[in-house]
A and B are shown apart, each in its own frame.
Chain A
């Protein structure tokens, strides 16, 4: 039986506190609500003062690019403007607009970093359940000794659900500066409003808050039902034995996989793709799925190796390690395949409404965007290609850690451009939020690992898994 050590508890607590501090810091920094009218008044006052100075001859011409006006605003509101924004401003209205945008981005930043971390850990826990269900439906023998780890990782789902619902609700009711979803903006679907957007209004049938909220409820209910059912069947099997529980698990898994096939795409549309409301991509769901699957496999791999080093999971041998390594390798390439499939079609067709998505990423997110591609493709394909490297837990964990960073950046580049635009950072708020989530994950998962026997006792294919050799 696995027990959670004091050190593990301490580490997770420290990480969670870091997360709370980071989020708190982000919210306090982003707070101090200025209404749009206040900002307009402030900016026009500054503009008037500068014009006065120029006409009085106190200072030289402020030139046409409003650079000095922007600098004054930067000092006043503690903002930072990119050169592009400064260069592109044509009149005072543009400056006002840029300022409002920058202030929104500032209060949006902790929300976006929370969403990135939530999606990352949603991937870890949900795709573990997917992998578990896959083992039942495909009647896989080798993975039996890993099944309890997959179940334990899945138990993080409700915690992700809480965070996702907090984000959805605060965004829907416009609380605490949460502007994650553009289509939730007030008046955007109302033809009489100044905010009206005909294209977004055309999507109202799917993108409306009521349906959006109910969908999220249905997703989590379905996923969690399947996980609970699989865990209870497996634990009951330990007591009673027989093949009946296996057959029942197979049925639950088959239902889950059909449900998951639809909802895995829909979660990506709902929680990620709808951020860039105008834009859409038909394979986006699978792209997100592949990113999440690699993440989940790496985390499961790390947990398995950790437990083995702790003297648990004694039946896990090098062949199990090898096969998990193969999954990480294969799905890293699958991710690249989907990344490229999405990119190449949009690049080739070059239709303005599609290509804006990549222009935003190449212009303002070049470093994380390209880094993610290198870390998620080049590193695993080169380093994990040979048989020997996949059999060395240390090597796979090193490469896996790099890949995890890559997939964090991947989710980052999916979510940030549509929420904070050019005002992105990877600083204390983002990293701290992620670490906080990691702490919670460690706490929850080790607790559920400690709550059950790590090797299923009466699984019909336990013997096959025990003697697994490749």
Chain B
């Protein structure tokens, strides 16, 4: 059986936000929404799970802090102890205040960079990736809703039109 995907194209963010809510209320699952800018409240309306990016950020930050401290321990205590400002050079803990800025910087560095990379990978935005939006106008002034149909095309198309779409498209996928 061949599957069909239906695209509803809207020209206003408030209209598509309302449409998403109305269509989901009818028990129809919306697979994806493409928009030129983030729409406030859309993730909630689509019923998406809360992002786990914050958790990865916390883990990356802890990694950065640990690696920063490890680096300073190795450089300043283990490998080549140096006396700076008359501070004891043989214990890590006595030198800790001097290492805190470095630990802090590496925490921020790791958390920020790795979080961006994670985000890009999760969004499939690595080098060589191709465009996923079915209509290039979603990068300009249009908003697109994508619904997979399982034999109920007519109902979906009617719903999309009813909720204020300016255009409806149908496409077959293998």
Contact = CB atoms under 8 A, between A and B. Distances in A.
A340 B98 contact: no
A350 B54 contact: no
B127 interface: no
B50 to A, nearest CB: 8
Contact of A387 (B54, B58, B100): B54
A47 to B, nearest CB: 41
Contact of B97 (A344, A385, A387): A344
Interface string B92-123: 00000110110000000000000000000000
Nearest to B55: A386
Contacts of A350: 85-86
B38 interface: no
A77 interface: no
B41 interface: yes
- Name the prevailing secondary structure of the A interface residues: helix
A340 B85 contact: no
Interface in B58-93: 58, 85-87
B100 A344 contact: yes
B148 to A, nearest CB: 30
B40 interface: yes
Contacts of A385: 58
Contacts, number: 20
A317 to B, nearest CB: 14
A26 to B, nearest CB: 37
- Name the prevailing secondary structure of the B interface residues: helix
A347 B100 CA distance: 13
B54 A348 contact: no
Contacts of A349: 85
Task: Output the residue of B87, B97, B100 with the most chain A CB within 10 A.
Answer: B97
Contact of B98 (A344, A386, A387, A469): A344
B64 to A, nearest CB: 15
Contacts of A348: 85, 87, 97-98
Contacts of A386: 54
A343 interface: yes
Nearest to B44: A469
B86 A340 contact: no
A343 B97 contact: yes
Contact of A469 (B40, B100, B101): B40
Nearest to B98: A348
B78 to A, nearest CB: 21
B41 A469 contact: yes
Nearest to A345: B97
A415 to B, nearest CB: 24
Interface in B13-56: 40-41, 54
A340 B104 CA distance: 12
Interface of B: 40-41, 54, 58, 85-87, 97-98, 100-101
20 contacts: A340-B97, A340-B100, A343-B97, A344-B97, A344-B98, A344-B100, A344-B101, A347-B97, A348-B85, A348-B87, A348-B97, A348-B98, A349-B85, A350-B85, A350-B86, A385-B58, A386-B54, A387-B54, A469-B40, A469-B41
Closest 9 CB pairs of A and B: A344-B97, A347-B97, A348-B85, A340-B100, A350-B85, A350-B86, A348-B98, A343-B97, A344-B100
Given A343-B97, A344-B100, 15 more contacts: A340-B97, A340-B100, A344-B97, A344-B98, A344-B101, A348-B87, A348-B97, A348-B98, A349-B85, A350-B85, A385-B58, A386-B54, A387-B54, A469-B40, A469-B41
